[in-house]
């Protein structure tokens, strides 16, 4: 029988460990434990960890979960977590803003595009025949919202149900641009982050992100 080297044996052992850890989720308890991992991962997404950094975080999770003594003084380093989160968030926001600026320049060159002093880009798709809303009106719309790369973050179209809201109770981009529309019309709105969710973002929307909406104005209530 051929002898297996120590390195090969360690590789086989590691592969077996990874296979067990990443195996099928057969029971409700296994699925719940996996959901726990997803929840933890979601909470640390804001740090934009590299693979090497995640390994360090993973070791901290393991030590804490299994009751091992922390390898750092938590009174010293625990309070620095928020500062690190803020730093990483600011760096991501700056990068996103730079990419969004180029995107906004490109979108402003589309046929029929109008760009206001606030930077909002308004592109008519279908001209309506009804009246236009005031900022104080409640409007009923269908919309489809995406990031600059086409990722959908919110869509009444996909949900199959229009939505109504006071026009002065939404992001400034909408308040400004929807007033240009007439009932029955459809337009594309391209919103700089300053007129949307700013440097902090919201949910799946990163800080500094320009947003694109296709909006159909169904009525004024």
Does pLDDT of 19 surpass 60? Answer: no
Q: Domain containing 150: what range? A: 100-220
Whether residue 162 is contained in a domain is answered as yes
Whether residue 206 is contained in a domain is answered as yes
Whether residue 174 is contained in a domain is answered as yes
What is the arithmetic mean of pLDDT over 8-33?
62
21 pLDDT tier (thresholds 50, 70, 90): low
DSSP one-letter string for 21-78:
HT----SHHHHHHHHHHHHHHHHTGGG---HHHHHHHHHHHHHHHTTPPPSS-HHHHT
Query: For 1, which DSSP code?
Result: -
Whether residue 145 is contained in a domain is answered as yes
Whether residue 71 is contained in a domain is answered as no
What is the arithmetic mean of pLDDT over 33-52?
89
Q: How distant is the alpha carbon of residue 186 from its chain centre?
A: 25
Positions marked catalytic: 143, 153-154, 171, 197, 213
Whether residue 83 is contained in a domain is answered as no
Whether residue 78 is contained in a domain is answered as no
pTM: predicted TM-score of the whole model, two decimal places: 0.73
Taking only the tens place, the pLDDT of each residue in 79-88 is 999 999 889 8
Q: How distant is the alpha carbon of residue 162 from its chain centre?
A: 22
Q: What total number of domains does the chain contain? A: 1
Does pLDDT of 108 surpass 80? Answer: yes
Assess contact for 219 and 140: CB atoms under 8 A.
yes
Taking only the tens place, the pLDDT of each residue in 167-180 is 999 999 999 999 99
What is the arithmetic mean of pLDDT over 88-98?
91
What's the token pair of residue 46?
A: 């804001």
For the CA atoms of 72, 73, 78, 80, the dihedral, rounded to the nearest 10 degrees, stands at -80
Assess contact for 214 and 152: CB atoms under 8 A.
no
Q: Average pLDDT of the chain?
A: 89
For Cα atoms 216, 220, 221, give the angle at the middle one, nearest 5 degrees. 130
Whether residue 69 is contained in a domain is answered as no
User: What's 119's domain CATH number?
Assistant: 3.10.50.40
Q: How far is CA 191 from CA 46, 100, 115, 207, in A?
A: 23, 10, 10, 13
């Amino acid at each position: 029988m051929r002898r297996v080297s120590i390195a090969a044996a360690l590789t086989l052992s590691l592969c077996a460990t990874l296979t067990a850890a990443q195996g099928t989720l057969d029971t409700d308890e296994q699925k719940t434990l996996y959901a726990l991992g997803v929840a933890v991962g979601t909470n640390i997404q804001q740090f934009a960890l590299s693979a090497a950094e995640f390994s360090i975080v993973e070791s901290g999770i393991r030590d804490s979960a299994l009751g091992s003594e922390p390898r750092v003084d938590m009174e010293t380093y625990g309070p620095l977590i928020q500062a690190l989160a803020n730093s990483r968030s600011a760096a991501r926001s700056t990068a996103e803003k730079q990419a969004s600026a180029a995107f906004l320049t490109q979108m402003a060159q589309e046929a029929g595009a109008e760009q206001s002093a606030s930077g909002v880009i308004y592109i008519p798709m279908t001209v309506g025949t009804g009246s236009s809303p005031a900022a104080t009106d409640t409007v009923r719309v269908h919309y489809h919202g995406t990031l600059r790369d086409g990722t959908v973050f919110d869509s009444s179209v996909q949900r199959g149900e229009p939505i109504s809201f006071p026009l002065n109770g939404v992001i400034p981009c909408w308040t400004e641009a929807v007033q240009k529309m007439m009932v029955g019309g459809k337009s594309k709105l391209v919103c700089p982050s300053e007129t949307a969710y700013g440097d902090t973002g919201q949910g799946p929307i990163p800080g500094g992100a320009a947003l694109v909406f296709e909006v159909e104005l169904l009525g004024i209530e």
